[in-house]
Structure 1
Amino acid sequence: MSAACRAPRSPNRSLRRSARSRRSRATLLAAGAAAVALTLSACSSGGTSGGSGKTNFITGKDGIATVKKGDRHDAPGLDGETLDGKQLSIDDYKGKVVVLNVWGSWCPPCRAEAPNFVKVAAATKGDVQFVGINARDPQKGPAISFEKDYKVTYPSLYDPMGKLMLRFPKGTLNPQFIPSTIVVDRDGKIAARSQQPLNEEKLRKMVDPVIAEK
């Protein structure tokens, strides 16, 4: 059949196809924007062994989850080799408030929050022990360079496979993203959690109430 014999396309059909095409493009753009936002707020998923069932936590508008003193769960035993080759266990810091920060040298939000952690660690020295958990770095080199670049003075456990994150048992405020921050009270119990990069103000908001506890 020649082109002249083909039935002409309905204008309405063309309009419908054009509208569908515009909707598809809009959907793709929206999905892309959401993906970018997720990347900026948290680099990747971590352990999934935990969950929030029966944690009795309250999450504020700032994304920080807190637990009343009487409702807290024990932090898991976290130990292993640090980036500088020493052995470390957070049990050694019982009696101190401990701030655990899960980070990776490959993670842009981790780089953004690093100066805030260095500053608050220096300001709370004596009351608080900061401990990093360097996750998903296949080699130590980039992580060590990260610490030098940001003048990180506190130790970091080396966790290339993310196994330490999986030690948090079901029913606790477990870290599920990188970066994540956990505050452990003087009794070794989880007091607060954030699963987003923190500025200085939000980090102090997590730490100061736990320091003030008697």
Structure 2
Amino acid sequence: MDDARRPGPLKSFASADRPAMPELAGKRGDGDGRVSLKELRGKVVVVNAWASWCAPCRAEAPGLSRVHEELQAKGRRVVGANANVPVEAARAFEKDAALVYPGLHNPQGRQLLRLPKSVVSTVGHPVTLIVDPEVRIAAARIGAIGEAELKKLVTPLLPV
């Protein structure tokens, strides 16, 4: 793919141009139930794809937890999608990072491969997707995302 068509670090979509978010569903990484985006329809969802061996993923995790706790009462949720093949590595990461949001066990990132190709490259980690209440992708971020940037992307989508 040439550089003109390659998704950049941050890509935002106007409401009329938002691509549909494919369903992500499966077992939680902690083994405590299931996660499904379809069940979160009507809420703003932040999907953060990470891997336990990824240093930027480790660095951004505490901020994602803080934003999740701060905004969940306003109808926003964070869902992690870990790419670890041994689920034990994902569980250790979730415990070490004290994640407060659910994580989908997504071995080798397979479910994210269903994303529209023009949205984001899923070759590396982390990748963060902001999904609007209609389950459309409002923004995609390659690389670690800070709390301020995440709030800036999410806040306009929240109900008043």
State the TM-score bracket (shorter-chain normalisation): 0.7 to 0.9
Deviation (angstroms), 1:161: 2.2
Structure 1 gaps of 5+ residues are 1-47
* Count of aligned pairs: 154
Q: CA RMSD in A?
A: 2.1
The TM-score normalised by the length of structure 2 is 0.87
Q: Report the identity percentage.
A: 36
The answer to whether the 8 Å contact 1:102/1:178 transfers is: yes
Question: More helix by proportion, 1 or 2?
Answer: 1
Deviation (angstroms), 1:122: 0.6
Aligned match of 1:133:
81
Aligned match of 2:22:
76
Deviation (angstroms), 1:84: 2.3
* SS at structure 1 position matched to 2:21: coil
Structure 1 pair 81–175 and aligned structure 2 pair: CA distance change class (3 A): farther
The answer to whether the 8 Å contact 1:98/1:130 transfers is: yes
Which of residues 112, 116, 123 is equivalent to 2:63?
Answer: 116
Deviation (angstroms), 1:175: 4.5
Deviation (angstroms), 1:169: 2.9
The amino acid of 1:132's aligned partner reads G
Aligned match of 1:211:
158
**Is it true that 1:154 corresponds to 2:101 in the alignment?**
yes
**Whole-angstrom CA distance in 2 between matches of 1:112 and 1:87:** 26
* SS at structure 2 position matched to 1:178: coil
* SS at structure 2 position matched to 1:146: helix
* SS at structure 2 position matched to 1:125: helix
Aligned match of 1:30:
none
**Whole-angstrom CA distance in 1 between matches of 2:53 and 2:152:** 27
Larger radius of gyration: 1
* SS at structure 2 position matched to 1:162: helix
The answer to whether the 8 Å contact 1:184/1:192 transfers is: yes
Q: Show CA shifts across 1:100-147 (max 9, x none).
A: 000011110001101110110011012201110001x12112211211
